A and B are shown apart, each in its own frame.
Chain A
Amino acid sequence: MSTPSLTHLMTGRARLGLTGMAAALLVAGCGQQAGETETAAAETPPIVQERQEGYKALGSSFKLINDQLKSGAPDMAQIAPAADRMNALAQQIPNWFPAGSGPQDGVETDALETVWTNPEGFSAAQQRLVETTAELQQLAAAGDAAALEAHVKVVGASCGGCHDDFRVEQ
């Protein structure tokens, strides 16, 4: 089985509704923030951009799952592929943090230096996300909405746990 490409994994993001685009324009129109992003993107190394896109795709897929679960009538046909994307992205995380791409190298990033100084801890946190998203896939395939609702909190905790130690505090 070949590894799905990142672009393929991010197709979920293409489902950008009209409302979303209008709201995006509105928010982008608020100046400072949009300007900052543009400058940062111009100087950001490709691998950092790739990992930022990867994490956005992770968050986007997880949001889709949570939106579905909150809707009261979750659509497993949407949840299952989103869970697949999350698991595949989680497996790619080790490729996103090569030497020279941290804040200690002068790169503008929300990743903490601990990603590189504590590789065992980071790897364990990444492995945890792979495992929790694998279970997410199984529950989605089984179509068990109640179990999914309980399990998204576990997945969320594996995001948050890693963010606590390896990402700039929000």
Chain B
Amino acid sequence: MSSDASSARVRVWDLPTRLVHWALAVLVLVAWLTGGERMDIHRYAGYGILGLVVFRLYWGVAGGSTARFSEFVKGPGTVLAYVRGWRAAPSSFGHNPLGALSVLLLVILLISQIGLGLFAVDVDGLESGPLARFITFETGRKAADLHELNFRLLQAAIVLHLVAIAAYALFKRRNLVGPMVTGRDATAGLEGELRPAPLWRLALGVVIAVLVVVLIARAG
């Protein structure tokens, strides 16, 4: 990469958005590998994911401009037009209209996954989510079955996410991974500007996320 190109790299993702993204990737993997095996670790991974998702929802209304739902979620007409002209579509600054749907899908599946996990009970009645004591064994077993089923959907959505990243690299020569790591995008012709959020908003978000996790973990 020439020095000219690197000087044209513009800031796209703020640090909290990137940290949440990669922490989610790691913790979902940990939760997957420990589910049904090491329930102590699985529980902490779940609490971590809960905190990250709460923070991400908050950051979606209070964070840097490219993290905000109102900035990237578009109506069906815009999405359809984007899909039709996909090969020729100019590079989006931040999420593109189709990627926005992927973000929403992943967030919704993560929320349902956490919600079901909080109530899930194992087949023996030994291990259970922190809120399972408010429901019966059989209802908790159903929550566990749905927790398993919803995880398959989450896996499918993650595969779709990875396939989309590969498709952008292959057909549009667009590197989407690099900017999610460094925060900067070197793609030519990007139009837009990241308006970062002030530090106090980040601090408030962390406090809210930690509070929610502690309250739910203690309820059990």
Contacts and interface: CB of A to CB of B under 8 A. Distances in A.
Query: Do the two chains bind?
Result: yes
Interface of A: 13, 16-17, 19-20, 23-24, 27-28, 30, 33, 56, 58-63, 66-67, 70-71, 152-153, 155-156, 159-160, 163, 167, 170
Contacts of B145: 33
Contact of A17 (B124, B134, B141, B220): B134
A160 B122 CA distance: 10
B193 interface: no
15 contacts: A13-B137, A19-B135, A20-B135, A24-B142, A27-B142, A59-B121, A59-B124, A60-B136, A66-B126, A67-B128, A156-B126, A159-B124, A160-B126, A163-B124, A170-B36
A20 B139 contact: yes
Contacts of A33: 142, 145-146
Interface in B90-123: 119, 121-123
Contacts of A19: 134-135
A33 B146 CA distance: 9
A62 B146 CA distance: 21
B192 interface: no
A152 B126 contact: yes
B124 A62 contact: yes
A13 B136 contact: yes
A60 B138 contact: yes
Contacts of A59: 121, 123-125, 137, 141
Nearest to A68: B133
Binding site of A, secondary structure by majority: helix, strand, loop or mixed?
helix
The contact size tier of chain B is: 20 to 34
Contacts of A63: 121, 125, 128, 132, 137, 140
A23 B142 CA distance: 10
Given A70-B133, A163-B123, 17 more contacts: A13-B136, A17-B136, A19-B134, A20-B134, A20-B135, A23-B135, A27-B143, A33-B145, A58-B125, A60-B138, A62-B125, A62-B126, A66-B125, A66-B126, A71-B133, A159-B125, A160-B126
Contacts of B119: 23
B5 to A, nearest CB: 51
A169 to B, nearest CB: 9
Contacts of A30: 146
A57 to B, nearest CB: 9
A71 B131 CA distance: 11
Contacts of A13: 136-137
A62 B121 CA distance: 11
B208 to A, nearest CB: 26
B123 A170 contact: yes
